[in-house]
């Protein structure tokens, strides 16, 4: 509910995301939803699309922080270089498949792209240099609503990163 740090599909559907080119839901299992007989799957992905987002990136299972960070950094880099939204994810996942510590699909297979597959409008120069990711310890940051106390700091960080991405991309489209 409101103020608890967890975005529900009901809350997401009430957002005004008109003109938003990309919403990234990188928390664990954000692509999952509840099936309703005759009505399809209700979840964050559907609510973001109904709220006006053109494309939603989401995860289907829990992925550790380091793998998620590596994937998102590479994904944003590829988007900034003019790759289509789906192609950028595919290229990123193929690159991770070649990394010794991240070959298993657990590290990269959870992330899917739904919606507009084309390149992002006006992203030239968005990222000026290729990403350099430094390794660090981490675990799943998806323990909101239960889990260890230290994870809430990471929940805020991932949430802030996602909102910053939405804000920057939306702002660039409007200008």
Give pLDDT tens digits for 90-135: 999 999 999 999 999 999 999 999 999 999 987 665 666 666 655 5
> Is the pLDDT score of 165 beyond 80?
no
**What is the crossing angle of helices 65-80 and 85-97, to 10°?**
130
Greater pLDDT, 165 or 12:
12
Cα separation of 27 and 64, whole Å? 10
* Terminal Cα distance for the chain, rounded: 33
Angle at alpha carbon of residue 116, lines to 59 and 78, rounded to 5°: 70
> Is the pLDDT score of 146 beyond 50?
no
DSSP for the chain?
A: -TTSS---HHHHHTS--TT---EEE-STTTT-EEEETTTEEEEHHHHHHHTT-SEEEEESS---HHHHHHHHHHHHHHHHTT-BHHHHHHHHHHHHHTSGGG-SGGGTTTEEEEE--SBPTT-TTSS-S--------------TTSS-TTHHHHHHHHHHHHHHHHHHHHHHHH-
> Is the pLDDT score of 152 beyond 70?
no
């Amino acid at each position: 509910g409101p103020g608890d740090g967890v975005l529900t599909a009901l809350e997401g559907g009430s957002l005004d995301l008109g003109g938003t080119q990309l919403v990234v839901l990188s928390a664990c299992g954000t692509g999952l939803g509840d099936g309703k007989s005759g009505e399809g799957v209700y979840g964050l992905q559907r609510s973001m699309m109904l709220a006006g987002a053109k494309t939603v990136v989401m995860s289907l299972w829990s992925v550790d922080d380091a793998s998620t960070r590596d994937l998102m950094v590479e994904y944003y880099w590829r988007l900034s270089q003019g790759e289509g939204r789906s192609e950028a994810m595919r290229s990123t996942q193929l690159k991770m498949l070649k990394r010794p510590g991240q070959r298993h699909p657990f590290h990269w297979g959870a992330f899917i792209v739904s919606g507009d597959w084309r390149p992002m409008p006006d992203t030239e120069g968005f990222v000026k240099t290729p990403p350099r990711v430094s390794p660090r310890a981490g675990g799943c940051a998806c323990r909101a609503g239960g889990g260890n106390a230290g994870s809430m700091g990471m929940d805020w960080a991932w949430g802030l990163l996602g909102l910053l991405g939405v804000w920057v991309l939306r702002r660039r489209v409007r200008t």
